[in-house]
Amino acid sequence: MINRPDQFCMLALAVGTALARDQTRELGVGLITSGSRFVWVVKNNIVDKEDGQELEEVIGHELMERVKEKGLIVKSWVQQEDILSHPAVGGFLSHCGWNSVMEAAWNGVRILAWPQNGDQKVNADVVERIGLGTWVRSWGWSGEKLVGGAEIAERIRECMGNESLRIQAMGIKEDARKAVGFGGSSDKGLTELISMWNQF
Ligand SMILES: *[C@@H]1O[C@H](CO)[C@@H](O)[C@H](O)[C@H]1NC(C)=O
C-alpha cells in the first residue's frame, strides 16, 4: 500500500475556525467516501490536547472512528512539507495560502483548491492557470453554504484520478527544481512521519 505512489490526499485545515463544525463533519464524510487514503493535518493553537482530540470534539466519536480507518490524523507539529514531499502523497485539499501552494508546486502535488479569503482566491486562480490543480468555485466562501460530503468525495475522486492533472503537477515540480536546483528541502520530522506511514 505505502509503496504505491500517489494515492494519498493531504489536507491541512484548521479545526473549529476556518470551517464551521457542520462543514468539518461533511468533510469527514467526504474523505471517507472518496476512496482515497488521506492525511489530515489538524492545525490549532492548543498544544496540550492529544492527537485528534479536538477533531473528535467537532465531528463526534463515531465519525472519527471511521475517519481513522481510512486516514491518518496528525498534529500540526508534523511539517506540512514533510508530508507533501512523500511520494505516496498525490493530492492536497488546500485553502491555498501562498506557502502551501509553493510547497505543493515544489513537490508536484496537485491541489484541490478551497480558498476562504481574497488572497487565497488569487492563489487558487494561479493554481488553476498553471495547471497545478482545480478550484470548485461553486463551493464558495467558508460559511456561505454547506458543501455536502458526497460532493466533496466526488471532487476528491476527480482530482486524485485525473491523470492529466497528475502529469501537469509533476511537470511543474520538474520545472521548479530545474529553476532552483535539487536538494535543499528539510527532512525535519520525516523520521517520525515515516514511522506513522509504516503503521498502515
Ligand atoms: C482534469 O483536470 C483538468 C484541469 O487541469 C480538467 O480540464 C479536466 O476536465 C479534468 N479531467 C477530468 C476527467 O476530470
Q: Is 8 helix (H, G, I), strand (E, B) or coil?
A: strand
Measured CA to CA in angstroms, residue 45 lies from 15, 16, 19, 57, 83 at distances of 10, 11, 15, 15, 20
| Polymer length of the chain | 200
Q: Which amino acid residue places its CA nearest to atom 13 of ligand 1? A: 162
At 138 the pLDDT is 94
C-alpha 27: how far from chain center: 12
| 193 CA → ligand 1 middle, Å | 31
List residues bridging with 42 in a β-sheet. Answer: 13, 75
The grid coordinates of residue 160 equal 486524485
Q: Global pTM?
A: 0.84
**CA pair distance 43, 168, nearest whole angstrom:** 29
75-123 pLDDT per residue, tens:
766 778 888 998 889 999 999 988 899 899 989 999 999 998 889 999 9
Ligand 1 shell residues, CB under 6 Å: 131, 134, 158, 162, 164-165
User: What is the set of domains in the chain, with CATH numbers?
Assistant: 8-198 (3.40.50.2000)
